[in-house]
Amino acid sequence: MKKYSNILVALGVTLFLLAVGMKSEAEAQTCCPSGLYTQITVTNVTHPASGCKFSITYCYYDGPGGDRKLFICNINVDASQSCNYNNFNLNSSFWSFVDEVVRYDLHSRDPFDPCVEGGGQTNMIVESSKAKCQKVYYDMILDAYIVEACDAEPGLCVSVYSICASNGSLIKTDISGPTYIGGGDCPTTPPNINSNTPTCFNTCQ
């Protein structure tokens, strides 16, 4: 009987390790739209309202004409923190904050052009996009709340703006958006990060 018990324990451990390995492999896969894009993860970002730390994974492409394309892939929030998850709302203010963090992170890696004399804009155009419909759920293996695209709800939310750098700050001028591109429909009410119902919600408002 003890022999069979040991076999069952070994089988359980093997299945667990396989699950972790599959999850790690899935996490390692790129979310970038094509091979031209570079994938980056920004860690240790602090949510202004909740105090929770989280990471942002995004992709970017620096075009030959100086324009740039950004794609927000996913958000990862450690679920073991001592912070107020109930104040971690996934509303329009949150997505504006995410976009700002990504802009400054990209500027630290591949700087935007300086503003022309007098504070005018350069012709550096940025197209920032993310999945229009996203979901939030708890991942038991990672012990984290994950925000990522809903596979069943296609479509993008796209904003276009010009940008330049001035005395350490980025000067952004909106051109268009946020705009829906493609199909898909989802609820407009955003949940907070620890929502118990992993339903899709609209990020483009």
The token pair at 19 is 């699950």
Helix (H) or strand (E) holding 161: strand 156-166
**Which segment of 103-112, 169-178, 191-200 scores lowest on mean pLDDT?**
191-200
**Which segment of 15-19, 74-78, 161-165, 178-182 scores lowest on mean pLDDT?**
15-19
Q: Which residue has the higher pLDDT, 15 or 140?
A: 140
Contacts of 42 (CB under 8 A, 6+ apart): 55, 56, 57, 58, 101, 102, 105
Any idea what DSSP says for residue 29?
Answer: S
b/e per residue 29-66 (b: at least 16 CB within 10 A) = eebbeeeebeebebeebebeebebebebbbbbbeeeee
**pTM given for the model:** 0.80
pLDDT in tens, 125-151: 899 999 888 889 999 999 999 999 887
